[in-house]
Every structure is written in C-alpha cells, then in structure tokens.
Amino acid sequence: MTAKEFFASADKTDVKKALRKVKNANYRQILVKRYLQRKKWEQIQKEIYSSRRNVFYWHKAALREFERKNRL
C-alpha cells in the first residue's frame, strides 16, 4: 500500500495517528493540508509562502518519510 492509498482508504483518526510519526513539521504540514484538509496545491502554496516546485518537492519527500515511518 502506498501513502496515497492509505490516505484515500483510512479514516481520519488513523491518518492523524500515522501523521504524528512524521517528525519534520514542514512535511507533516503539507500532508495535513493536502489529505486531511483537502486543499488544492495553489492554496497550500500560498499558505506556506513557497513556490509550487518546492511544495511538490516537499510533498514527495513527505510521502517517502510517511511510508518509511509507517512501514507502508
């Protein structure tokens, strides 16, 4: 199972619990905004004052860390 599949199928409580394992606050923030708050990329970009490219870079790194920490 990938991180994206987990976010799509797990309930909110399980997602929150799994996200706590991600220690990098920036990574966790992006995952929360995208998968719990269901925000669009443009909104996330504006809220964290970063370029679209950086948001995508951090998102990819965040998914890798999430999968590693949660053994997906």
- Exposed, middle or buried by CB within 10 Å (0-12, 13-18, 19+), for 55? buried
In order of their start, the domains of the chain are 3-70 (1.10.10)
Looking at the predicted structure, is the pLDDT value of residue 1 above 90?
A: no
Report the pLDDT value the prediction gives residue 14, as an integer from 0 to 100.
Answer: 94
What is the model's pTM? 0.91
In percent, how much of the chain has pLDDT > 70?
A: 100
Q: How large is the average pLDDT for residues 57-68? A: 96
Distance CA 13, CA 36 (A): 10
Model confidence band, residue 72 (pLDDT cutoffs 50, 70, 90): confident
pLDDT tens-digit readout, 16-48 = 999 999 999 999 999 999 999 999 999 999 999
